[in-house]
Amino acid sequence: MITIQDVAHRAGVSAMTVSRVVNNQARVALATRQRVQQAIKDLGYVPNGLARGLLQGRSRTIALVVSDISNPFFTLIARGVEDVAQRCGYAVILGNSDETVEKERQYINVMLENRVDGLLIAPAGRGSRKVLDSLKQSGTKFVLIDRHVEGIMADLVEGDNVAGARQLTAHLLSLGHQRIALVNGSLEVSTARDRLLGYQEALQAVGIQPDLVRIVGNSYKRESGRGAARELLLLPDEQRPTAIVATNNFLAVGVIEALRESSVRVPEDMAVVCFDDIELASALDPFLTVVVQPARTFGTLAAQFLIDRLRGEEDIAPRRVILPPELSVRASCGARLRRPPHG
């Protein structure tokens, strides 16, 4: 491994001078600078970030902890984060909590060991409060993405989940549906609670009892959506819903898989709507009616907030940004005749 000493020796200067050249500081004679740069090139010197980080107390690295990067929603967030981080000279370390507080805790710990300068977290649940509290206490900067946690005051970028769920439900109501079921993730997660609320509000506003709620234990997983839909199909005809609101894309896919299994047509026999778009799927076939959240913006904003803090905005009050979702009406709600999807 080539060190700054090696470069210094080759260029006939001290390590300090090399350091100054590397960091573009003034007070180095042009000739010296060029000699050093040549030596750096010759030897292929790459500064040791660990040593620098140790000394300066920062690593120019941030962490991103989400539940599952393979969910397109989080993928887009990651992409947004990455773009901003890169522009600002930060590297991004990734972690998947799989909606588990314990795995989340482990990851955060690893990241603290790696001395990330700050973290972006989509907390796995209310149980995340403990870790977040300890982060707070240790003065580690972090920003919450997509989900809040009761009692944790921190920068936050999330969607308006109540309004989104209200919109989805109201849209189904406007199409004449009366028995609308909700397939929801674990209420550990704030988005699930808020989406439940929006659903309830919309139904109560028109005097319907919101009792067709299925809350799956394993938050936001495809398999859970399948199970919930199967249950709903077992209901006697007069109780069976005519429409389903899935509170995220994974659940919706599971729901649709279960419906297909039982030869229930969408939207003819059952309308289905959900949160969060699946971008490529929609491009291929604009089928699923969803409320789209600006996921990439979640990422860029959150990263920006974090980096702002790292750059010294210590004591500004936490910022909370709530981005509005947008209803995208497509085929699966039955709002319009199903058109030939491809062509």
Region near DNA per CB under 7 A, out of 50-58, 91-99, 144-152, 199-207: 50-58
Q: How far apart are CA 46 and CA 69, in angstroms?
A: 31
Confirm or reject binding of residue 34 to a second copy (CB under 8 A). Answer: no
Using omega within 30 degrees of 0 as the cis cutoff, is the peptide bond preceding 236 cis?
no
CA proximity to 40, closest of 80, 2, 91: 2
Residues 65-84 that bind a second copy (CB under 8 A): 68-70, 72, 75-76, 78-79, 82-83
Q: Give the pairing of strands 243-246 and 271-275.
A: parallel
In this structure, the dihedral spanned by the alpha carbons of residues 172, 184, 223 and 285, taken in order and rounded to 10 degrees, is 30
In degrees and rounded to multiples of 5, residue 70 shows phi and psi of: -80, -5
Confirm or reject binding of residue 5 to a second copy (CB under 8 A). Answer: no
Q: In terms of CB distance, is 89 or 312 closer to a second copy?
A: 89
Cross-strand pairs, 320: 156
Q: How far apart are CA 234 and CA 263, in angstroms?
A: 13
Q: Cα–Cα–Cα angle for 294, 182, 124, nearest 5°?
A: 55
- Residue 19 binds which of DNA, a second copy, none (CB < 5-8 A, kind-dependent): DNA
- In angstroms, the first-to-last Cα distance of the chain is 58
Q: How far apart are CA 127 and CA 111, in angstroms?
A: 19
Region near DNA per CB under 7 A, out of 5-13, 73-81, 155-163, 185-193: 5-13
Residues 280-319 that bind DNA (CB under 7 A): none
Q: In terms of CB distance, is 17 or 67 closer to DNA?
A: 17
Could you tell me the two tokens for 99?
Answer: 């909606």
The one among 10, 13, 76, 117 contacting DNA by CB under 7 A: 13
x/- letters, 130..159, toward DNA (CB under 7 A): ------------------------------
CB of 37 to DNA, least distance (A): 12
Region near a second copy per CB under 8 A, out of 46-54, 175-183, 187-195, 317-325: 46-54
Residue 115 C-alpha from the chain's centroid: 22
8 Å CB contact between 274 and 266: no
x/- letters, 194..223, toward a second copy (CB under 8 A): ----------------------------x-
Region near DNA per CB under 7 A, out of 54-62, 134-142, 195-203, 314-322: 54-62
Confirm or reject binding of residue 300 to a second copy (CB under 8 A). Answer: no
Confirm or reject binding of residue 332 to a second copy (CB under 8 A). Answer: yes
Q: How far apart are CA 314 and CA 196, in angstroms?
A: 35
CB-based contacts of 96: which residues, under 8 Å, 6+ apart? 65, 66, 67, 68, 69, 103, 107
The footprint of a second copy on this chain (CB under 8 A) covers a number of residues equal to 71
Q: What is the gyration radius of the CA atoms in the chain, in angstroms?
A: 25
Confirm or reject binding of residue 234 to DNA (CB under 7 A). Answer: no
Q: Please compute, for residue 8, the number of CA atoms within 13 A of its CA located in the half-sphere on the CB side.
A: 12
The one among 152, 253, 273, 303 contacting a second copy by CB under 8 A: 253
CB of 257 to a second copy, least distance (A): 6
- Residue 111 binds which of a second copy, DNA, none (CB < 5-8 A, kind-dependent): a second copy
Confirm or reject binding of residue 47 to DNA (CB under 7 A). Answer: yes
DSSP letter assigned to residue 128: G
x/- letters, 260..289, toward a second copy (CB under 8 A): x--xxxxxxx--------x-xx-xxx-xx-
- Residue 123 binds which of DNA, a second copy, none (CB < 5-8 A, kind-dependent): none
CA proximity to 100, closest of 191, 221, 14, 205: 221
Question: Where along the sequence are the contacts to DNA (CB under 7 A)?
Answer: 1, 3-5, 12-17, 19-20, 22-23, 26-29, 31-33, 45, 47-48, 51-52, 54-57
